[in-house]
């Protein structure tokens, strides 16, 4: 979905630029966190502010995907919406199975933010098989 | 949905890209219509009909007829 061919629509070009911008922000905040920029944070309010800052680019990227649907023609909108719905369903199913695995089968804990990369992994898995709007 | 879109386009010597531009949709959308991977909305079907100056049912087979 991030490829920009010669025939890419303006909606797709905007999507790629928005995604690159949001992901650059995401990488920058995480690199800063890895190198200890936020190690001195002590108050719960500041900790939540950091959590919101890290997750803001993820929210932005989800918005970019929804904007791609809104700004595309009816065929692209229908196909991306179909892929989005199927990927969401698969990601929720996997997350639910794992969550109950944690509750009942001592599966190792996985943080909830994993749903975002999991969703895109599911999207990548599904997209090659969903090329029709019918 | 079965249609004569490719035939009409080729008759005029247009590429999928050119037809897409005339209709305000992507080349992928034109390809999907021609290969029956997308049923057009009523709005798009009428735009196609106007562009080729033909009734909708001369371009798209009515599956319920």
| pLDDT greater at residue A5 or residue B28 | B28
Chain A contact present for B45, CB below 8 A: no
Q: Mean pLDDT over residues A94-116, rounded?
A: 97
Tokens of B12: 């005029």
- Averaged pLDDT for residues A28-47: 88
What DSSP string describes chain B? --B-HHHHHHHTT--HHHHHHHHTS-HHHHHHHHTTS-PPPHHHHHHHHHHHTS-HHHHB--TT-
pLDDT of residue A13: 93
Q: Give the pLDDT of residue A6.
A: 54
User: Does position A30 have pLDDT exceeding 90, yes or no?
Assistant: no
pLDDT at A7 over 80: no
| Domain covering B5-54 assigned CATH 1.10.260.40 in the classification | yes
Q: Provide the number of CB pairs (under 8 Å) joining chain A to chain B.
A: 39
Q: What would the mean pLDDT of A7-29 be, rounded to a whole number?
A: 90
Question: Which residue from A7, A74, A131 is facing B41, i.e. has the nearest CB?
Answer: A74
Q: What residue spans define the domains of chain B?
A: 5-54
Q: Looking at the complex, report in whole angstroms how far the Cα of residue B7 sits from the nearest Cα belonging to chain A.
A: 20
Residue pLDDT, tens place only, A61-104: 999 999 999 999 999 999 999 999 999 999 999 999 999 999 99
- Whether B22 has its CB under 8 Å from any CB of chain A: the answer is no
Asked if residue A43 has pLDDT above 60, the reply is yes
CA distance A37 to B46: 58
Beta-carbon separation of B29 and A74 below 8 A: yes
> What residues does A63 pair with on adjacent strands?
none
Whether A75 and B25 lie within 8 Å, measured CB to CB: yes
Nearest-by-Cβ selection for B39 from A73, A131, A134: A134
């Amino acid at each position: 979905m991030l490829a920009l061919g010669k025939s890419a629509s303006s909606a797709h070009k905007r999507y790629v630029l928005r995604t690159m911008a949001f992901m650059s922000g995401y990488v920058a905040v995480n690199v800063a966190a890895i190198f200890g920029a936020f190690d001195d944070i002590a108050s719960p309010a500041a900790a939540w502010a950091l959590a919101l800052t890290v997750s803001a680019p993820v929210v932005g990227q989800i918005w970019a995907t929804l904007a791609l649907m809104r700004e595309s023609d009816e065929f692209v909108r229908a196909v991306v919406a179909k892929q989005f719905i199927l990927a969401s369903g698969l990601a929720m199913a996997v997350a639910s199975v794992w969550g109950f695995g944690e509750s009942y089968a001592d599966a190792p804990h996985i943080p909830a933010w994993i749903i975002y990369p999991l969703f895109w992994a599911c999207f990548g898995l599904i997209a090659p098989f969903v090329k029709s709007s019918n | 949905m079965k249609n004569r879109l490719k035939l009409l386009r080729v008759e005029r010597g247009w590429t999928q890209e050119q037809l897409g531009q005339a209709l305000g949709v992507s080349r992928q959308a034109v390809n999907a219509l021609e290969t029956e991977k997308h049923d057009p909305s009523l709005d798009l079907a009428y735009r196609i009909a106007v562009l080729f100056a033909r009734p909708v049912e001369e371009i798209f087979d009515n599956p319920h007829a």
